[in-house]
Structure 1
């Protein structure tokens, strides 16, 4: 018998651990058993399938009914991946016209409303940045700070919500829903692909944190047409 830590053969039996013989290394004090079972868990393909189903409109319990993977396990995978994904993406080309909008949803109950603020390039597909919170200027400010510091827009298109004129200069601001087709389309895609954002659904967010993780995962999927797969708490597929 050899110690896995220091490779010493000076070891003694030291009782049993979960029905298996436990050993103690006299040299370094390491306790160990004779053999370890391979770590149990789901293979990459199962995780990828479940996460792909999630960002294609299925709720956690629906995925459980189809795959047999418990809904809380799928939630954990979404959280693990979501913690590594960004809220902002660097534009491939600097936007000349930006569109800004808010999508209304709720957490826990329909009385607890929350807004997803999104920013897009008028001439390219994809959401480049977002924030989640109430309908106030305080919530919008971090998104605006990111947009105004990274983008070089000639003007911005929004609806008539009173918060936007507090940040956008009059000469750079166009209030016109007719020219908001890009951002409206992106928000519609979010509702289409994520069950918890649909207007009439039995799926809903119980926490703001899980809603954020879900949004990060979906935006990544729509941008790269792939889902990152968690192996363990600290081991993931490459996250772009």
Structure 2
């Protein structure tokens, strides 16, 4: 028998691991068993199952309890796919009426509030643009730079004081009545991501992870599938 790390034959028994004899290499201290009954790593089917569960409202530890896959592994898979996904997808048709709104959440603790600013087409489903940050004009500006290219007939928003700084008065309607589309899309975010549920033990520990999660969810809601982590 040889050590798989250094190929040394100076091997000793070192207890048992899950009912199988465990060995340790005297030369390099590598521990191993004689043979593995299954290939190492998870199949693509298991990876996709875990990510589908995540974008359908389950938290990482809930996924671990159901599948047996450690929650840190699922977190790693979300990061893997999230960092390669776009923030949003270009509209199939240029919106004629845009709706704008903000969704409040927090990162780390409830004192550290953060807002997801979203933009949608009044007549079609799907979030077409979003930014993450505080409740200031500086946060909203990159989203407006995108939305402004639509050249909508008018834009609908709530009474947030930031919007009039960018939207001309004659193009701006302030009314909750006509914001059903964007409020519905924000509700879908809360419904599909456990970390955005209103009363939950799940929460975002980093802004980066929140970004990856939103990207993954928007991909899922557009294609009804999730990418396979490498």
When the two structures are superposed, what TM-score results if normalisation uses the length of structure 2?
0.84
Following TM superposition, by how much is the alpha carbon of 1:16 offset from its aligned partner in structure 2, in angstroms?
7.1
1:20 aligns with 2:19: no
Following TM superposition, by how much is the alpha carbon of 1:40 offset from its aligned partner in structure 2, in angstroms?
2.7
What is the aligned partner in structure 1 of residue 140 from structure 2? 140
Following TM superposition, by how much is the alpha carbon of 1:17 offset from its aligned partner in structure 2, in angstroms?
6.2
What is the aligned partner in structure 1 of residue 204 from structure 2? 205
Following TM superposition, by how much is the alpha carbon of 1:223 offset from its aligned partner in structure 2, in angstroms?
1.1
CA separation of 1:16 and 1:75: change in aligned 2, threshold 3 A? closer
- Partners of 1:16 and 1:189 lie apart in 2 by 52
RMSD between aligned alpha carbons? 1.8
What is the aligned partner in structure 1 of residue 50 from structure 2? 50
What is the aligned partner in structure 2 of residue 187 from structure 1? 186
Correspondences of 1:74-113 after superposition (within 5 Å): 74-113=74-113
What is the aligned partner in structure 1 of residue 63 from structure 2? 63
Q: Give structure 1 regions of 4+ aligned residues with deviation exceeding 2 angstroms.
A: 37-40
- C-alpha contact 2:88 2:218 (8 A) present in aligned 1: no
What count of residue pairs does the alignment treat as equivalent?
Answer: 202
Query: SS where residue 61 of structure 2 aligns?
Result: helix
CA separation of 1:173 and 1:39: change in aligned 2, threshold 3 A? same
Query: SS where residue 110 of structure 2 aligns?
Result: strand
What is the aligned partner in structure 1 of residue 177 from structure 2? 178
Following TM superposition, by how much is the alpha carbon of 1:88 offset from its aligned partner in structure 2, in angstroms?
2.6
Following TM superposition, by how much is the alpha carbon of 1:18 offset from its aligned partner in structure 2, in angstroms?
1.8
Following TM superposition, by how much is the alpha carbon of 1:152 offset from its aligned partner in structure 2, in angstroms?
2.7
- Partners of 1:117 and 1:227 lie apart in 2 by 24
Q: Deviations over 1:153-182 (max 9, x none)?
A: 110000000000000001110000100000
Following TM superposition, by how much is the alpha carbon of 1:19 offset from its aligned partner in structure 2, in angstroms?
4.4
- Partners of 1:89 and 1:138 lie apart in 2 by 23
Query: SS where residue 88 of structure 2 aligns?
Result: coil
Query: SS where residue 20 of structure 1 aligns?
Result: coil
Query: SS where residue 109 of structure 1 aligns?
Result: coil
What is the aligned partner in structure 2 of residue 154 from structure 1? 153
- Partners of 1:211 and 1:191 lie apart in 2 by 12
Correspondences of 1:159-170 after superposition (within 5 Å): 159-170=158-169
Task: Give the unaligned 5+ runs of structure 1.
Answer: 1-14, 22-36, 232-240
- Partners of 1:143 and 1:137 lie apart in 2 by 10
- Partners of 2:223 and 2:4 lie apart in 1 by 46
Deviates more, 1:177-186 or 1:39-48: 39-48
When the two structures are superposed, what TM-score results if normalisation uses the length of structure 1?
0.81
CA separation of 1:16 and 1:209: change in aligned 2, threshold 3 A? same
Following TM superposition, by how much is the alpha carbon of 1:144 offset from its aligned partner in structure 2, in angstroms?
0.5
- Partners of 1:152 and 1:49 lie apart in 2 by 41
